Amino acid sequence: MHSASDDDRVETDNVVGDDVTTTGGGKPSSASDLAAPPTGPLPYRGVNLAGAEFGDPVPGVDGEDYQFPNTAEMDYFIGKGMNTFRVGFKWERLQSSPYDDLIAAYLKQLDALVAHATSKHATVILNPHNFARYYGETVGSANVPNEVFADLWKRLAARYGRNPYIMFNLVNEPNTMPTEQWVGAANAAIAAIRRTNARNTIIVPGNAWTGAYSWHSSSYGTPNAVAMLDIVDPANNTVFEVHQYLDEKAGGGSGPCVSGTIGSERLAGFVEWLRAHGKKGFVGELAGRDDATCHAAVEDMMRYMHASSDVLVGWLWWAAGPGWGDYPFSIEPKNGQDRALLAKIRPFLF
């Protein structure tokens, strides 16, 4: 593992004072200046703005190996009725070595998106899109102990924890590890966040790519439905995240949707688990391709989620952001024109 030079690092522990919140570019504003985040049924509806997490080279070159989403994209989707953006980033680009300071140039890009969203009263979900891995090693392992993962979140919470429009999504899609190992790492991160006095909502995914359809399955070890009951949050402000796609493998492939009701069928077990245990949930990724069966399946899934607003707090389409080209699920405008798929979800926006 390599270290950034001192000129490239930024110390975050002192960014946030007792009564200010950093909203980007190092410019603090009073927490009292920010209106309260939305409430009511399914208060969070939006899209994954992806790009900064992509590309294998680390650190890579901005604009070549990866590309951050931009504020114009946020404005476009806000204008369509969205109010929530999940912004992925690559952990190794933000923190090049364990316990190191965060890297200023990359962090500045996150700051800019946070500042803009806050100014529009939209929510940003910060998401290390790393599949519970750091340089290819799973969190909670001997090579990446829980303390390393907790240190990342301590630094992020110190920087953004006074901003009520920020949610902390611990990581994208943990997989191929014991579920108990993931729960231990997640609890370490949650404890580190809360020790900074940040009370932001924490979004916790499950093991096995956090599929709703497999929430109760034992095919990957202890089911999420069992192990995730051991998640501990001293602030009691945690929601459980699932991803759910509509193709045969349920993994986001571009194949045909199974049926017009597959979305509600795959979500039902997770929703009932939330109700049975007094938990809240978030559908962090969903999508279907542009054909009649998928249109029906997306509408069915949307209606089911909205009918389950007693336990679900929101949903996010996958995906938008720069560089998607002809990706079949993209709702990024192309040549200044809306994508066809956007029309299928607009009736369920604000």
Q: Is pTM beyond 0.75 here?
A: yes
- Summarised one tens digit per residue, pLDDT across range 198-212 is 999 999 999 999 999
The answer to whether residue 18 sits within a structural domain is: yes
Q: What is the CATH number of the domain that holds 232?
A: 3.20.20.80
pLDDT at residue 31 is higher than 50: no
Q: Residues 300-321: what's their mean pLDDT?
A: 98
Domain with 295 in it: 6-348
**What per-residue confidence (pLDDT) applies to 33?**
56
The answer to whether residue 1 sits within a structural domain is: no
Active site residue 173: yes
pLDDT at residue 17 is higher than 70: no
The structural domain count of the chain equals: 1
The answer to whether residue 137 sits within a structural domain is: yes
- Summarised one tens digit per residue, pLDDT across range 215-253 is 999 999 999 999 999 999 999 999 999 999 999 999 888
The answer to whether residue 106 sits within a structural domain is: yes
The answer to whether residue 33 sits within a structural domain is: yes
The answer to whether residue 23 sits within a structural domain is: yes
Catalytic entry in 92, 173, 241, 332: 173
Catalytic entry in 53, 73, 241, 285: 285
The answer to whether residue 167 sits within a structural domain is: yes
213: DSSP letter: G
Long-range contacts of 198-201 (CB under 8 A, 24+ apart): 198/157, 198/158, 198/160, 198/161, 198/162, 198/168, 199/161, 199/235, 199/237, 200/157, 200/160, 200/161, 200/163, 200/164, 200/166, 200/167, 200/168, 200/237, 201/167, 201/168, 201/237, 201/238, 201/239
